[in-house]
A and B are shown apart, each in its own frame.
Chain A
Amino acid sequence: MQLFRHANSIYGGSDVIIGASYDLLLWFAAAGAAFILMHAVFKAVTKTGERASH
């Protein structure tokens, strides 16, 4: 997985960063989905625990 997009500079052919890698798009979306899933599971489990204790 790359963090940056690279290209050759028009002035000298050296490798320069031209921006963030688009590969990260999926990872950021996955991070959001993972947080949502973990929170939903946590809330469901703690709610079940509260019901059981009553």
Chain B
Amino acid sequence: MSTPDITRPDPAPTGRVLRHKLIDRIYHWLMALSVLILMATAFLPILGWKFEWLDLHWITGVVLTLAVLFHIIRAVCWQDIWAMFLGGQDLRDITGGGKPGKYTPAQKLYHLGVSLLILAAIGTGLLMLLKIDTPWWRRDPYWFSDTQWGVIYAIHGFGAMALITMVMIHIYFALRPDEWRLTRSMFRGWMTSKEYLDHHDPKRWKAKEDA
């Protein structure tokens, strides 16, 4: 059976288009849970809530690393990775008010910022694993000098603290009523055809109907 054409100018507003596949929603929520656990285990002890945070922190960090690795491979091999990159058309959208493709310029900019922060936290976090005993290796803190460790810890700390700002902004937009269609699509996968045509350019995001 062929996929119905929902890119025509006036589709029936009762239809639904697929925005996020189940696998991508699972990734999103796994990443969200990981980041929240990592932030809680990092910052609550600093704020005075003392508990055994280290094992939960590094194990969650490894889970996040694997999830991000999966996401990168999936984005490169199976998804339209360019849909998330800022380009000249995005700048024209900002100045000219055109409809975006799947993602708005602001969403792409946010994704870029969060990606850099998380990759910085992951990269330095993996190096920091050298300083703890795990089931796979014994700690060996002599890979780097004191100064080098200081830089690694500083990058990890700045990245993690900047993520507080980014997470706050993300949750704020997710809760805004005018953005609710996007939040719903991250739970249920779809948005209505009307929302699709109202907010997106079908020529730039050729969405498929939600099965």
Do chains A and B interact in one complex?
yes
Give the shortest distance, in Å, between B37 (CB) and chain A (any CB).
17
Indicate whether A19 sits within 8 Å of B147 (C-beta atoms), given known contacts A25-B43, A29-B168: no
Indicate if the CB atoms of A20 and B158 lie closer than 8 Å.
yes
Looking at chain B's contact residues, is the secondary structure mostly helix, strand, loop, or mixed? Answer: helix
From A18, A22, A40, B46 is in contact (CB under 8 Å) with A22
In the complex, chain A residues whose CB is within 8 Å of the CB of B162:
28
Asked if B153 contacts A28 (CB within 8 A), the reply is: no
- Which residues of chain B from 118 to 171 have a CB within 8 Å of any chain A CB? 146-147, 149-151, 153-154, 156-158, 161-162, 164-169
Q: Contact: B154 with A25, CB < 8 Å?
A: no
Closest A residue, CB atoms, query B178? A43
Q: Map CB proximity to B onto A7-18 as digits: 1 under 8 Å, 0 otherwise.
A: 001110000111
Partner of A16, one of B147, B161, B168, B176: B147
B168, closest chain A residue (CB) = A32
For the side of the interface on A, what is the size category? 20 to 34
Q: Is the CB of A24 within 8 A of B161?
A: yes
The residues in A between 24 and 54 inclusive whose CB is less than 8 angstroms from any CB of B are 24-25, 28-29, 31-33, 35-36, 39-40, 43
> Is B172 interfacial (CB-CB < 8 Å)?
yes
CB neighbours of A29 from chain B (8 A): 164-165, 168
Q: How far is the CA of A14 from the CA of B169 in the complex (A)?
A: 40
Chain A residues touching B, majority SS: helix
Query: Closest residue to B173 on the A side, CB-wise?
Result: A39
The distance in angstroms between the C-alpha atoms of A35 and B110, with both chains bound, is 13
Question: How many cross-chain pairs have Cβ atoms below 8 Å apart between A and B?
Answer: 62
What residues of chain B lie closer than 8 Å to A18, measured between beta carbons?
A: 146, 149-150, 153
Are A17 and B150 in contact, with the CB atoms below 8 A? yes
A32 lies within 8 A of B169 (CB): yes
Smallest Cβ-Cβ distance to A4: which chain B residue: B154
- Tell me whether A19 and B146 are in contact in the complex, defined as CB-CB below 8 angstroms, given that A28-B164, A32-B169 are known contacts: no
A9-B146, A22-B46, A25-B46 given; A32·B154 CB < 8 A: no
B: residues with CB less than 8 A from A are 43, 46-47, 146-147, 149-151, 153-154, 156-158, 161-162, 164-169, 172, 176, 178
Instruction: Kindly list the 5 A-B residue pairs having the minimum CB-CB distance in the complex, ordered from nearest.
Output: A20-B157, A32-B168, A17-B150, A19-B153, A32-B165
16 additional contacts (CB under 8 A) given A16-B150, A32-B169:
A4-B154, A11-B146, A17-B150, A17-B151, A17-B153, A19-B154, A19-B157, A22-B46, A25-B164, A28-B162, A32-B164, A32-B167, A35-B168, A36-B168, A36-B169, A43-B178
